[in-house]
Structure 1
Amino acid sequence: MQGENHALMFEFPEYKDKIHEMKMSNKGFGSLVDEYHHLDHKIRGLEMANIPTDDENFRDLRMRRVQLKDEIYQQITQ
C-alpha cells in the first residue's frame, strides 16, 4: 500500500525497547537503524507527494529497505 508507514516500531513492536537499547550501545547497529529510517521516510515522501520516479528506482529503494530490515531483525533476534 502506498504511503504505508514501515517504521521499525510498527514492523517490530515487540522489539521496540531492544532496538532502542541496541541503537544506543552499538554504533554499527545504530547506523543500520538510521539508514532504514531515512530510507523509509524518503520512500513514503515520494509516494505521498506523487513525485515522478522510475519503477527501477522505487524497486531499488524498496529492496534496500527490505535488506536493512532483514539485517536489523537478524541482529535483534540473536
Structure 2
Amino acid sequence: MELQAHDLHNEFPEYRNEIHALKTSDAHFQRLFDAYHDVNRHVVRIEVQAEVATEPELEDLKKERLRLKDELHDMLRKQRGQ
C-alpha cells in the first residue's frame, strides 16, 4: 500500500501563498493547521504500523482529518476571495 501525502501543501498546492499568509496572520487558522497536521501524523503512524489502533479509531481519526481539512479549505477560499 502506497501512502499518500496529506499535508496541506500537497492537498492544496494552489493555495500555497494563502496558507503562508494565514499561518502568519490568523491564530485560529494556525491552531487548525497544527491540529490537522497532528491528526495526519497520527494516521500515518498507524498506517505504517508504528502505532496500533483499531479500525474504528483509525476511521475516527480520518474523519477528524477530513473535517479539519474542509474547515481549512473554507478559510483558504475566503482568503483568496472565492
TM-score normalised according to structure 2 size: 0.86
How much is the aligned-residue C-alpha RMSD, in angstroms? 1.4
Structure 2 partner of 1:24:
24
**1:68 lines up with 2:44 in the alignment:** no
Amino acid at match of 2:30: G
What is the SS of the residue equivalent to 1:5?
A: coil
Deviation at 1:50, TM superposition (A): 5.4
Structure 2 partner of 1:45:
45
Instruction: Structure 1: give runs of 5+ residues left out of the alignment.
Output: none
Instruction: Report the Cα distance in structure 2 between the residues aligned to 1:61 and 1:51, rounded to whole angstroms.
Output: 13
Identity over aligned pairs, percent: 32
TM-score normalised according to structure 1 size: 0.90
Deviation at 1:74, TM superposition (A): 0.5
Deviation at 1:4, TM superposition (A): 2.0
Change (3 A) 1:68 1:75: same
Give the total of aligned pairs. Answer: 78
Instruction: Structure 2: give runs of 5+ residues left out of the alignment.
Output: none
Instruction: Report the Cα distance in structure 1 between the residues aligned to 2:67 and 2:2, rounded to whole angstroms.
Output: 19
Instruction: Report the Cα distance in structure 2 between the residues aligned to 1:56 and 1:34, rounded to whole angstroms.
Output: 23
Contact 2:36/2:65 (<8 A) preserved: yes
Instruction: Report the Cα distance in structure 2 between the residues aligned to 1:3 and 1:38, rounded to whole angstroms.
Output: 17
What is the SS of the residue equivalent to 1:77?
A: helix
